[in-house]
Protein backbone atom coordinates (compact mmCIF):
# COMPACT_ATOMS: atom_id res chain seq x y z
CA UNK A 1 0.00 0.00 0.00
CA UNK A 2 1.17 3.52 -0.76
CA UNK A 3 2.78 5.05 2.35
CA UNK A 4 0.94 8.36 1.91
CA UNK A 5 -2.41 6.56 1.75
CA UNK A 6 -1.43 4.47 4.78
CA UNK A 7 -0.61 7.64 6.74
CA UNK A 8 -3.96 9.20 5.78
CA UNK A 9 -5.82 6.05 6.88
CA UNK A 10 -3.97 5.94 10.23
CA UNK A 11 -4.75 9.59 10.96
CA UNK A 12 -8.39 9.17 9.85
CA UNK A 13 -8.81 6.36 12.36
CA UNK A 14 -7.12 8.49 15.05
CA UNK A 15 -9.48 11.41 14.33
CA UNK A 16 -12.49 9.05 14.50
CA UNK A 17 -11.29 7.72 17.87
CA UNK A 18 -10.79 11.30 19.10
CA UNK A 19 -14.32 12.17 17.97
CA UNK A 20 -15.74 9.11 19.76
CA UNK A 21 -13.83 10.11 22.88
CA UNK A 22 -15.25 13.64 22.59
CA UNK A 23 -18.79 12.28 22.12
CA UNK A 24 -18.36 10.23 25.32
CA UNK A 25 -17.53 13.54 27.04
CA UNK A 26 -13.89 12.70 27.68
CA UNK A 27 -11.44 15.58 27.82
CA UNK A 28 -9.33 15.84 24.69
CA UNK A 29 -5.99 17.53 25.19
CA UNK A 30 -4.62 18.68 21.84
CA UNK A 31 -1.21 19.90 23.01
CA UNK A 32 0.06 16.45 24.14
CA UNK A 33 -1.02 14.94 20.81
CA UNK A 34 0.86 17.67 18.91
CA UNK A 35 3.96 17.31 21.10
CA UNK A 36 3.98 13.51 20.71
CA UNK A 37 3.48 13.80 16.94
CA UNK A 38 6.32 16.30 16.56
CA UNK A 39 8.65 14.35 18.85
CA UNK A 40 8.11 10.97 17.20
CA UNK A 41 8.35 12.46 13.71
CA UNK A 42 11.57 14.34 14.51
CA UNK A 43 13.17 11.28 16.09
CA UNK A 44 12.16 9.12 13.12
CA UNK A 45 13.75 11.65 10.75
CA UNK A 46 17.14 10.79 12.26
CA UNK A 47 17.12 7.53 10.26
CA UNK A 48 16.99 8.42 6.53
CA UNK A 49 14.59 6.24 4.56
CA UNK A 50 13.43 6.74 0.97
CA UNK A 51 13.39 9.76 -1.28
CA UNK A 52 15.28 12.83 -0.05
CA UNK A 53 12.89 15.78 0.20
CA UNK A 54 15.52 18.34 1.18
CA UNK A 55 18.72 18.70 3.16
CA UNK A 56 19.48 20.73 6.26
CA UNK A 57 22.96 22.21 6.43
CA UNK A 58 23.62 20.78 9.87
CA UNK A 59 26.19 18.11 10.60
CA UNK A 60 27.37 17.72 7.03
CA UNK A 61 24.07 18.23 5.19
CA UNK A 62 21.43 16.18 7.07
CA UNK A 63 18.84 14.61 4.69
CA UNK A 64 15.09 14.81 5.39
CA UNK A 65 13.48 11.82 3.68
CA UNK A 66 9.88 11.12 2.72
CA UNK A 67 9.89 7.56 4.09
CA UNK A 68 11.16 8.61 7.51
CA UNK A 69 8.70 11.51 7.66
CA UNK A 70 5.71 9.28 6.80
CA UNK A 71 6.83 6.54 9.22
CA UNK A 72 7.04 9.13 12.00
CA UNK A 73 3.53 10.38 11.24
CA UNK A 74 2.23 6.79 11.14
CA UNK A 75 3.83 5.87 14.47
CA UNK A 76 2.49 8.99 16.15
CA UNK A 77 -1.00 8.30 14.75
CA UNK A 78 -0.93 4.77 16.17
CA UNK A 79 0.20 6.01 19.59
CA UNK A 80 -2.35 8.84 19.69
CA UNK A 81 -5.12 6.53 18.47
CA UNK A 82 -4.26 4.01 21.16
CA UNK A 83 -4.51 6.71 23.81
CA UNK A 84 -7.94 7.78 22.53
CA UNK A 85 -9.08 4.14 22.36
CA UNK A 86 -8.01 3.53 25.96
CA UNK A 87 -9.88 6.68 27.05
CA UNK A 88 -13.03 5.34 25.37
CA UNK A 89 -12.81 1.96 27.11
CA UNK A 90 -12.01 3.35 30.55
CA UNK A 91 -15.60 4.16 31.25
CA UNK A 92 -18.24 3.10 33.72
CA UNK A 93 -20.62 2.81 30.75
CA UNK A 94 -18.77 -0.20 29.28
CA UNK A 95 -20.41 -3.40 30.53
CA UNK A 96 -18.54 -6.66 29.99
CA UNK A 97 -20.25 -10.05 30.49
CA UNK A 98 -19.46 -12.54 33.28
CA UNK A 99 -17.77 -12.30 36.66
CA UNK A 100 -14.43 -11.22 35.20
CA UNK A 101 -16.26 -8.62 33.08
CA UNK A 102 -18.01 -7.27 36.17
CA UNK A 103 -14.66 -7.01 37.97
CA UNK A 104 -13.04 -5.22 35.02
CA UNK A 105 -16.04 -2.88 34.66
CA UNK A 106 -15.88 -2.04 38.36
CA UNK A 107 -12.13 -1.39 38.08
CA UNK A 108 -12.75 0.99 35.15
CA UNK A 109 -15.52 2.67 37.15
CA UNK A 110 -13.24 3.33 40.13
CA UNK A 111 -10.38 4.44 37.90
CA UNK A 112 -12.65 6.95 36.15
CA UNK A 113 -13.97 8.22 39.48
CA UNK A 114 -10.43 8.46 40.87
CA UNK A 115 -9.23 10.53 37.92
CA UNK A 116 -12.27 12.85 37.76
CA UNK A 117 -10.75 15.23 40.31
CA UNK A 118 -7.15 16.35 40.63
CA UNK A 119 -5.20 14.87 43.51
CA UNK A 120 -2.29 16.88 44.87
CA UNK A 121 0.67 14.53 44.25
CA UNK A 122 3.32 17.16 44.99
CA UNK A 123 2.66 17.48 48.69
CA UNK A 124 4.21 15.39 51.44
CA UNK A 125 0.89 13.63 52.05
CA UNK A 126 0.47 11.83 48.72
CA UNK A 127 -0.95 8.65 50.24
CA UNK A 128 -3.23 10.64 52.52
CA UNK A 129 -4.60 12.60 49.51
CA UNK A 130 -5.20 9.41 47.49
CA UNK A 131 -6.84 7.77 50.52
CA UNK A 132 -9.08 10.80 51.04
CA UNK A 133 -10.16 10.67 47.38
CA UNK A 134 -10.89 6.92 47.66
CA UNK A 135 -12.95 7.58 50.79
CA UNK A 136 -14.93 10.27 48.90
CA UNK A 137 -15.69 7.77 46.13
CA UNK A 138 -16.69 5.12 48.69
CA UNK A 139 -19.02 7.57 50.45
CA UNK A 140 -20.57 8.69 47.14
CA UNK A 141 -21.30 5.11 46.13
CA UNK A 142 -22.52 3.74 49.45
CA UNK A 143 -24.10 6.82 51.03
Please give the full DSSP string across 55-105, using - where no structure is assigned.
EESSTTTEEEEHHHHHHHHHHHHHHHHHHHHHHHHSSTT---SHHHHHHHH
Q: Which of 11, 28, 13, 30 is nearest to 72 (CA)?
A: 11
Quick one: pLDDT at residue 66? 92
- pLDDT tens by residue, 18-37: 998 888 777 778 898 899 99
- pLDDT tens by residue, 61-109: 888 899 999 999 999 999 999 988 888 777 666 677 888 888 877 787 7
Amino acid sequence: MNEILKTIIFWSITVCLAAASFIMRKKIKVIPVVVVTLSITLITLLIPNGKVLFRINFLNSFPITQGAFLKGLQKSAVLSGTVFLSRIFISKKILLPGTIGALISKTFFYFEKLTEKKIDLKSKNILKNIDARLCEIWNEEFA
